[in-house]
Amino acid sequence: MVNHQEHEVSNGVVLIAFGGPSSSGKTTVARTIQSLIPQKTKLIHLDDFYLTDSKIPIDSKTGYQNWDCPEALDFKKFKKYLVGLKNGEEPISVESIQPKDTDLKLNEEESSQIRHVIDSNLKKFDNKKIVFVDGFMLFHDPSIIKLFDISLFFHATFDTLKTRRDARKGYNTAEGFWVDPPNYFKSIVWPAYEESHKHLFIDDDINKNLKPDLLKTYKIKELNNGESQNLFSLVTNALNFIIDNL
Ligand SMILES: Nc1ncnc2c1ncn2[C@@H]1O[C@H](COP(=O)(O)OP(=O)(O)OP(=O)(O)O)[C@@H](O)[C@H]1O
Ligand SMILES: [Mg+2]
């Protein structure tokens, strides 16, 4: 079994994973926290490491491109990038094609309460380079989870995630824009998540809790972003876990 000591030496670089299935709120929460601590943190996105559009695997059942399996991403480049960051190397420049804004925002009062939490813990951020890594495929492979010092695992039920995903216009891709074809969440997104992540859950059932030993081993915090969850409590829980583990 792996333990904390096996996290690689970090040079004051703290890599924080914002992982979990599509539409679970990773980008929203990561961007919200990052925007409140811009000088101390940097945000990168796994979605900037997709293969070019014509190289995305085709699902044999539906004939659709499968943007949700690990093979759609350049993990060799991604891992090299993360290891470089951890070793304090100046990273190769990766042009981000992710939207800079979020649909869901904190109100003024909520933002000022979160700022207060940050200000009261500023010492924790001193002498550290904190990198938030946002991605839907950060935990499927032990060689990747192990690179993170702190991990946040966002999730919600099939119905909630499907509703949120269906409401989205689409995604910027390396060469264009992707719009889900009919039934895409049920036939591609959820099965790909289940296939790649089930081994992390009790009884290999993604509707159950994560295996408790994994939570400890990899410093993972589960964050349920269900239907009635609000952004403020999600951000508060994520931030408190980060601060406690810095
Ligand atoms: N608690 C919530 N209540 C209402 N809407 C939410 C909530 N959390 C997220 N959303 C909405 O769901 C959508 C997906 O959120 P977000 O983009 O943060 O997900 P994601 O995990 O980054 O997904 P992906 O992996 O597909 O990029 C967004 O439109 C966001 O505003
Ligand atoms: Mg996202």
User: What's the pLDDT tens digit per position in 139-169?
Assistant: 999 999 999 999 999 999 999 999 999 999 9
What rounded mean pLDDT belongs to the chain?
Answer: 93
Residues 6 or more apart whose Cβ sits within 8 Å of residue 34: 41, 42, 43, 132
Question: Is the CB–ligand 1 distance for residue 237 below 6 Å?
Answer: no
What's the rounded mean pLDDT across residues 81-102? 83
Q: What is the pTM of this model?
A: 0.94
Nearest CA to ligand 1 atom 24: 22
- Out of 50, 104, 165, mutate this one to test ligand 1's pocket (max ligand atoms within 8 Å of CB): namely 104
Distance 6 CA to ligand 1 centre (A): 32
d(CA 185, CA 206): 16
What CATH number has the domain spanning 4-17+28-245? 3.40.50.300
Q: Examine the pLDDT at 1 and tell me if it is beyond 90.
A: no
Q: Name the nearest CA neighbour of 4 among 217, 243, 221.
A: 217
Indicate if the pLDDT at residue 9 is higher than 60: no
What 3-state class would DSSP assign to 138? coil
Catalytic residue annotation: 47
Provide the residue ranges of all domains of the chain, joining segments of one domain with +: 4-17+28-245
Closest Cα to atom 29 of ligand 1: 103
